[in-house]
């Protein structure tokens, strides 16, 4: 038997096996392999990113599925890759340049993009390397980047086709403008800062003297926008103001006359003064009013958030300075009508944090309604299933109320919009410049300077990675993919968009299942964030406890529909699990000398038992993974390994190993069970703990060789059940546990052997076969007896009273124990009596349920009687 290191070397194993797998190309999928495919595309992390807990959880769960399916005989492919992440990446490089005193704008577009590429080549591999530390089994030969030439082609195709179908249009709309990044944003990229304390400030617009004079009071949270007001609206049925509709106001600062209009949709007469200032170019509601009433739409802001020439004397001021200045100027004119506290939401850019301005702007949009419908019904009809299903409602709700998607971004890093303009402004959308020139019949065309929303390219990921629009073999084999594993935070950003893009362009849903996992939070349930300082770095955890323990922890935490509350104690605990397994292996090695997998074997009851238990565990683990109940899979393996294989089988195996009279065939059978069960364990566990299991597999005698990662996943049918052995060992376990409890409570150390006296012939005969086990596991010597000595402790096994003779010193403790036990059983019994005394229960409950309670009652009765008589006897003697 080969030498086994004293401890498991997590780091060494990770390095060794990662390399070995790569060298052997075991994760490289063969498109010609005609076994059924199982394919997954990674949610591509930002190329700027570094691995955080969310990535770790996400990729561990994918790896569990992928490794499981690979072992289980599927042609398995996991496509890795990264996302170019427009805004985020542009910022990273922009800041680096700023640190060198360079303004990226001075560099010019081409040079800047060149810089970003250089940076990407140098630093973009960080997250990929970090993923490898986690042990993911991606097919790196198929790694993709969303700006790869092929994927650019796919994005262009996507855009052009949608444009040709009338599903993409260019138009002037009110969009979300980020004055810091100076780009438009989609609705999803804007977050609301909720419950901000602000003020609702009122001022008066004077009514023209020729319209009768007087004033009308309006309120606003953004005073500076009054510079863009082109109307004041009242409710058409409001008796207070009805008569003013059609009259005109004089703007106090700019040379403009403002009509009073009636609008029943905008105005709630109950709110504020019942009069609303209308700024169509800077408020979504007002924009609609502007369209309804054909009002002028006056943009008062520059792209960096200052007042433009329309701002009159406030022109050039920053928007927030202008706010104060406008208020002051109004007050000077005596038009200030006071302010009151007001709690409001402030829209901020998800990326930059800047306060977003609604701004009238010409941008590119995707018409969503026609695309959303099929995406919805595909899920409704079950072509794609969300796990847990509750997320389907979230998905439906978003698609139901969807609005058009603003896809143009005023950035330099990203997919350039395939649209060209002639000098006269005529627009040509084409796949290439040449195609545009051909369409235009001239070559003095200028390409649209904007790039596309990053998510516009991510939407194609499940098929662009396979070469779409080309009809590749990979596309035919691996698309649609089997499952998408992702977090709920990008159901709208990504999942929904992949759904409609996939359905629209390929005619089929991009994945059969969507498994939605939770967020990783800290121990207190708070979101991890750099500002809070509660971020846990996965690489630090891996470094300290090893990737196996880390992955096991993540999987054990991944209960459906629950957030993961990170608790460092759990990793420590599971690192002990790796140690436990290693030591079990060590035990097998120490006693495995002479093992011959093909030699004669004679199984004993314990071998039959562990085989049956293994089969049951295999089935439970398979069921759990099949149902995406990852935490259950982890806990089943944990309990089986620790609670059955180690706690029971290893101990029971000693009865043969240490038995000088046991035959070689018996010993060989035990060695086989030790190694074979370990072989089942490492295969069962491999998807969760890839390195430890590969390390063990490589050393395990009796395996066919090769990697565990390509070994077949255990099947329950390989481990036949055996009802006799199960019942037999259950009885033994009951006896051992009973003796141990008495030892524990009466405080008899194991150094003191006890006798277990049995009068019942059948029980004695049954336990006799296990007398060595009783000795080994409970320190009890089995003896047949006619009567029990007065000074003894009571052990009840299978409702039969047995006795453990006790030296004088333990009798007091035994009396206490019996008292407590009697109280417990009495209580127990009274509940059972109550239940079974209930006529309706006995009549209406299913027979097997009633029968179950009856047998529990008779067991409790027997136990109580035994306890009572034992106590009586002891007290009589005392």
Partner RNA sequence: GGGCGGAUAGCUCAAUGGGAGAGCUACGGCUUUACACGCCGUCGGUUGCAGGUUCGAGUCCUGUUCCGCCCACCA
Q: Does 854 bind RNA (CB under 7 A)?
A: no
Q: Does 841 bind RNA (CB under 7 A)?
A: yes
Could you say which residues in the range 373-432 bind RNA, by CB under 7 A?
390, 393-394, 397-398, 401
User: 16: number of CA atoms within 13 Å, CB side?
Assistant: 14
429 or 520: CB nearest RNA:
520
Q: Does 182 bind RNA (CB under 7 A)?
A: no
Give CA–CA dist 666/660, Å, rounded.
Answer: 11
Tokens of 28: 């490289």
294 or 524: CB nearest RNA:
524
Tokens of 80: 């890795």
Q: Does 655 bind RNA (CB under 7 A)?
A: no
CB 175 within 8 A of CB 358: yes
Task: Identify the residue among 122, 533, 844, 876 touching RNA (CB under 7 A).
Answer: 844
Q: Does 816 bind RNA (CB under 7 A)?
A: no
Could you say which residues in the range 71-90 bind RNA, by CB under 7 A?
none
Minimum CB separation of residue 476 from RNA in Å reads 36
Q: Does 703 bind RNA (CB under 7 A)?
A: no
Task: Identify the residue among 30, 215, 268, 816 touching RNA (CB under 7 A).
Answer: 268
Give CA–CA dist 164/456, Å, rounded.
Answer: 17
CB 810 within 8 A of CB 748: yes
Task: Identify the residue among 745, 755, 760, 775 touching RNA (CB under 7 A).
Answer: 745
Residues 6+ apart with CB under 8 A from 224: 300, 307, 311, 314, 319, 322, 323, 326
Cβ neighbour number for residue 524 with a 10 Å cutoff? 8
Q: In this chain, which stretch among 157-165, 241-249, 332-340, 846-854 interacts with RNA, using CB under 7 A?
A: 846-854
Torsion from C-alpha of 759, 763, 767, 769, nearest 10 degrees: 110
Tokens of 329: 């100027």
Could you say which residues in the range 663-702 bind RNA, by CB under 7 A?
none
Task: Identify the residue among 248, 642, 702, 726 touching RNA (CB under 7 A).
Answer: 642
Cis preceding-peptide flag for 388 (omega within 30 of 0):
yes
Q: Does 543 bind RNA (CB under 7 A)?
A: no
Q: Does 99 bind RNA (CB under 7 A)?
A: no
Q: Does 236 bind RNA (CB under 7 A)?
A: no
Minimum CB separation of residue 302 from RNA in Å reads 22
Task: Return left, alpha or beta for 705; rule: phi > 0 is left, psi -120 to 50 is alpha, else beta.
Answer: left
Q: Does 267 bind RNA (CB under 7 A)?
A: yes
CB 37 within 8 A of CB 74: yes
Q: In this chain, which stretch among 183-191, 328-336, 416-424, 668-676 interacts with RNA, using CB under 7 A?
A: 183-191
Contacts of 596-599 with CB under 8 Å at 24 or more apart are: 596/668, 597/672, 597/675, 597/701, 597/702, 599/664, 599/665, 599/668
Q: In this chain, which stretch among 43-51, 154-162, 207-215, 836-844 interacts with RNA, using CB under 7 A?
A: 836-844
Task: Identify the residue among 750, 816, 819, 851 touching RNA (CB under 7 A).
Answer: 750
Q: In this chain, which stretch among 428-436, 688-696, 759-767, 853-861 interacts with RNA, using CB under 7 A?
A: 853-861
282 or 683: CB nearest RNA:
282
430 or 657: CB nearest RNA:
657
Q: Is the dihedral of CA 798, 800, 805, 810 positive or negative?
A: positive
Going by C-alpha positions, the residue among 869, 859, 746 that lies closest to residue 804 is 746
Cβ neighbour number for residue 39 with a 10 Å cutoff? 26
Q: Three-state DSSP class for 489?
A: helix
Minimum CB separation of residue 89 from RNA in Å reads 23
Task: Identify the residue among 251, 741, 771, 772 touching RNA (CB under 7 A).
Answer: 741
Q: Which residues pair with 218 in a beta bridge?
A: 203
Say how many residues touch RNA, by CB under 7 A: 97
- DSSP H helical ranges for 145-252: 149-164
Q: In this chain, which stretch among 66-74, 319-327, 509-517, 851-859 interacts with RNA, using CB under 7 A?
A: 851-859
Q: Does 194 bind RNA (CB under 7 A)?
A: yes
Give CA–CA dist 431/434, Å, rounded.
Answer: 8
Could you say which residues in the range 196-235 bind RNA, by CB under 7 A?
200, 218-222
Q: Does 781 bind RNA (CB under 7 A)?
A: no
Residues 6+ apart with CB under 8 A from 144: 44, 79, 80, 81, 150, 151, 464, 465
Task: Identify the residue among 72, 647, 734, 775 touching RNA (CB under 7 A).
Answer: 647
Q: Does 710 bind RNA (CB under 7 A)?
A: no
Q: In this chain, which stretch among 87-95, 324-332, 696-704, 828-836 interacts with RNA, using CB under 7 A?
A: 828-836
Give CA–CA dist 856/853, Å, rounded.
Answer: 5
Angle (deg, nearest 10), helices 53-71 and 547-557:
90
Q: Does 768 bind RNA (CB under 7 A)?
A: no
Q: Does 9 bind RNA (CB under 7 A)?
A: no
Minimum CB separation of residue 585 from RNA in Å reads 8
Give CA–CA dist 401/121, Å, rounded.
Answer: 41
Q: In this chain, which stretch among 677-685, 780-788, 794-802, 831-839 interacts with RNA, using CB under 7 A?
A: 831-839
Outline where DSSP puts E strands in 492-593. 511-517, 520-521, 564-565
Give CA–CA dist 578/691, Å, rounded.
Answer: 10
Q: Which residues pair with 755 in a beta bridge?
A: 781
Task: Identify the residue among 125, 744, 837, 877 touching RNA (CB under 7 A).
Answer: 744
Task: Identify the residue among 182, 631, 790, 868 touching RNA (CB under 7 A).
Answer: 631
Could you say which residues in the range 277-296 bind RNA, by CB under 7 A?
277, 283-285
Q: Does 849 bind RNA (CB under 7 A)?
A: yes
CB 338 within 8 A of CB 217: no
Q: Does 580 bind RNA (CB under 7 A)?
A: yes
Give CA–CA dist 80/82, Å, rounded.
Answer: 7
* Contact pattern for RNA over residues 587 through 616, marking x by CB under 7 A: x--x--------------------------
Could you say which residues in the range 330-369 bind RNA, by CB under 7 A?
344-345
Could you say which residues in the range 466-525 bind RNA, by CB under 7 A?
489, 492, 523-525
Q: Does 734 bind RNA (CB under 7 A)?
A: no
Q: Does 328 bind RNA (CB under 7 A)?
A: no
Q: In this chain, which stretch among 643-651, 676-684, 780-788, 805-813 interacts with RNA, using CB under 7 A?
A: 643-651
Give CA–CA dist 804/811, Å, rounded.
Answer: 11
Task: Identify the residue among 437, 565, 815, 822 touching RNA (CB under 7 A).
Answer: 565
Task: Identify the residue among 169, 383, 421, 853 touching RNA (CB under 7 A).
Answer: 853
Tokens of 800: 């039969």
Q: Does 542 bind RNA (CB under 7 A)?
A: no
105 or 562: CB nearest RNA:
562
Q: In this chain, which stretch among 20-28, 126-134, 322-330, 832-840 interacts with RNA, using CB under 7 A?
A: 832-840
Minimum CB separation of residue 174 from RNA in Å reads 10
Task: Identify the residue among 260, 547, 571, 860 touching RNA (CB under 7 A).
Answer: 860
Give CA–CA dist 396/613, Å, rounded.
Answer: 44
Going by C-alpha positions, the residue among 65, 164, 10 that lies closest to residue 558 is 65
């Amino acid at each position: 038997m080969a030498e086994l290191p004293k401890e498991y070397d997590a780091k060494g194993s990770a390095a060794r096996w990662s390399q070995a797998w790569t060298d052997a190309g075991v994760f490289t999928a063969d498109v010609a392999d005609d076994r059924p495919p199982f394919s997954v595309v990674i949610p591509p992390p930002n190329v700027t990113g570094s691995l955080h807990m969310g990535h770790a959880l996400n990729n561990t769960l994918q790896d569990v599925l992928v490794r499981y399916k690979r072992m289980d005989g599927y042609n398995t492919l996991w496509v890795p890759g990264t996302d170019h992440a427009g805004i985020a990446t542009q910022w990273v490089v922009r800041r680096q340049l700023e640190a060198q005193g360079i303004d990226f704008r001075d560099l010019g577009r081409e040079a800047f993009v060149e810089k970003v590429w250089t940076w990407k080549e140098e630093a973009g591999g960080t997250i990929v390397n970090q993923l490898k530390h986690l042990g993911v089994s991606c097919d790196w030969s198929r790694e993709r980047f969303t700006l790869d030439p092929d994927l650019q082609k796919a994005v262009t195709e996507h855009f052009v086709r949608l444009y040709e179908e009338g599903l993409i249009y260019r138009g002037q709309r009110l969009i979300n403008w980020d004055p810091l990044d100076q780009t438009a944003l989609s609705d999803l990229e804007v977050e609301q800062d909720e419950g901000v304390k602000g003020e609702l400030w009122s001022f008066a617009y004077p009514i023209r003297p020729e319209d009768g004079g007087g004033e009308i009071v309006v309120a606003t949270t953004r005073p500076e926008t009054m510079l863009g007001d082109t109307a004041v609206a009242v409710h058409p049925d409001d008796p207070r103001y009805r008569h003013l509709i059609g009259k005109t106001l004089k703007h106090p600062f700019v040379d403009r006359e403002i009509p009073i209009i009636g609008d029943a949709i905008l105005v709630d007469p109950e709110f504020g003064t019942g009069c609303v200032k209308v700024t169509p170019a800077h408020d979504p509601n007002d924009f609609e009013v502007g369209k309804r009433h054909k009002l002028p739409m006056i943009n008062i802001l520059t792209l960096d958030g200052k007042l433009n020439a329309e701002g009159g004397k406030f022109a050039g001021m920053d928007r927030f300075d202008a706010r104060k200045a406008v208020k002051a100027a109004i007050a000077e004119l005596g038009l200030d009508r006071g302010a009151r506290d007001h709690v409001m939401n402030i829209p901020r850019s998800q990326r930059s944090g800047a306060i977003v301005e609604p701004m009238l702007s010409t941008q590119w949009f995707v018409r969503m309604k026609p695309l959303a419908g099929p995406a919805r019904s595909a899920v409704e009809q079950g072509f794609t299933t969300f796990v847990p299903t509750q997320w389907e409602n979230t998905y439906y709700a978003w698609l139901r109320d969807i609005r058009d998607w603003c896809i143009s971004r005023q950035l330099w890093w990203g997919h350039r919009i395939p649209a060209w303009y002639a000098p006269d402004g005529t627009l040509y959308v084409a796949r290439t410049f040449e195609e545009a020139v051909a369409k235009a019949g001239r070559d003095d065309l200028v390409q649209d300077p904007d790039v596309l929303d990053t998510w516009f390219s991510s939407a194609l990921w499940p098929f662009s990675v396979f070469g779409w629009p080309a009809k590749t073999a990979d596309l035919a084999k691996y698309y649609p993919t089997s499952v998408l594993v992702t977090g709920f935070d990008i159901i709208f950003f990504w999942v929904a968009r992949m759904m409609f893009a996939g359905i629209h362009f390929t005619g089929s849903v991009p994945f059969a299942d969507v498994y939605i996992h939770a967020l990783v939070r800290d121990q207190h349930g708070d979101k991890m964030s750099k500002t809070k300082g509660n971020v846990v770095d996965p690489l630090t955890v891996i470094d300290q406890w090893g990737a196996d323990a880390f992955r096991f922890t993540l999987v054990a935490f991944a209960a459906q529909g629950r957030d993961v509350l990170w608790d460092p104690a759990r990793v420590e605990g599971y690192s002990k699990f790796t140690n436990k397994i290693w030591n079990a292996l060590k035990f097998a090695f120490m006693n495995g000398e002479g093992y011959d997998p093909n030699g004669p074997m004679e199984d004993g009851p314990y071998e039959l038992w562990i085989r049956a238990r293994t089969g049951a565990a295999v089935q439970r683990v398979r069921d759990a993974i099949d149902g995406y109940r990852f935490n259950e899979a982890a806990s089943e393996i944990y309990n089986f390994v620790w609670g059955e294989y180690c706690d029971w089988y290893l101990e029971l195996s000693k009865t043969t190993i240490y038995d000088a009279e046991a035959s070689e065939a018996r010993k060989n059978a035990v060695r086989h069970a030790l190694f074979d069960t370990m072989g089942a364990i490492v295969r069962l566990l491999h998807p969760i703990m890839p390195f430890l299991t590969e390390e063990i597999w490589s050393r395990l005698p009796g395996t066919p060789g090769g990697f565990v990662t390509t070994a077949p996943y255990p099947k329950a049918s390989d481990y036949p059940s055996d009802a006799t052995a199960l019942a037999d060992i259950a009885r033994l376990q009951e006896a051992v546990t009973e003796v141990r409890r008495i030892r524990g409570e009466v405080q008899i150390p194991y150094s003191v052997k006890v006798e277990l006296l049995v009068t019942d012939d059948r029980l004695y005969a049954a336990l006799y076969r296990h007398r060595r086990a009783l000795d080994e596991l409970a320190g009890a010597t089995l003896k047949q007896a006619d009567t029990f000595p007065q000074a003894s402790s009571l052990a009840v096994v299978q409702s039969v009273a047995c006795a453990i003779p006790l030296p004088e010193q333990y009798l007091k403790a035994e009396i206490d124990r019996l008292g407590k036990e009697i109280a417990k059983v009495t209580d127990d019994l009274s509940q059972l009596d109550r239940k079974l005394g209930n006529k309706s229960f006995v009549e209406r409950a299913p027979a097997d349920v009633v029968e179950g309670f009856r047998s529990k009652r008779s067991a409790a009765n027997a136990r109580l009687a035994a306890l009572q008589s034992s106590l009586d006897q002891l007290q009589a003697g005392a």
